[in-house]
Structures are given as structure tokens and as C-alpha cells.
Amino acid sequence: MKPIQYSSLTAFLGHYKALKSSSALAPEELSLRSGMEKLIDSIGPGARALLETEAVSNASGADLRRRQRAERALRRELLVRGVLTG
């Protein structure tokens, strides 16, 4: 199976969140979600928790910066692995 490529980090995270919220996944989708979780976990401990939380307007500046750093690190990782096309 050819790995899925995404045009943006937003598309990758949107697909991940859709797979995460679904209760009935096919085996291929479960495998894909597991692979996505491994990619997210590869950028460091706690990254998945930061990226899974919704950005809220009343979050502290420090929380927003941590999330932005996690997004940048994940974007770089996805680019290196060929998961992002742009």
C-alpha cells in the first residue's frame, strides 16, 4: 500500500482527528491511525496531547507557543518522511 500524502499539516491533523473520533474503523484505517500516532509521537513526549487539544482563544501564551512548536516540529518530520507534499 502506498503511503498517503497530505498537502498540509492541517490536512494531516484533520484526517488524524477524524480517524481518532470514529468508532468503527476498518483494519486499514486502524493501521493508518496507528502509523499517524507513531509519527506524532516521534517528535517528543507530550506532542500528541498538545496537538489533540483544540486551540482555544483563552489559552495562555505559553500553551499556544508549545502547541505551535509541536506543529512546526511535526511539519518538519512529515516533510522529511515524505508525508507532506508542500
Question: Under a CB-based contact definition with an 8 Å cutoff, are residues 79 and 71 in contact?
Answer: no
Q: For the segment 10-56, what is each residue's pLDDT rounded down to a tens digit? A: 999 999 999 999 989 999 999 999 999 999 999 998 888 888 877 66
Q: Which residues of 22-40 are buried (b: 16+ CB within 10 A; e: fewer)?
A: eeeeeeeeeebbeebeebb
User: Which residue reads 508549545 in cell numbers?
Assistant: 66
- Extract the C-alpha cell encoding 10: 492541517
Whole-model pTM above 0.95? no
- Extract the C-alpha cell encoding 60: 495562555
pLDDT value of position 61: 83
Integer Cα distance of 85 and 62 in angstroms = 30
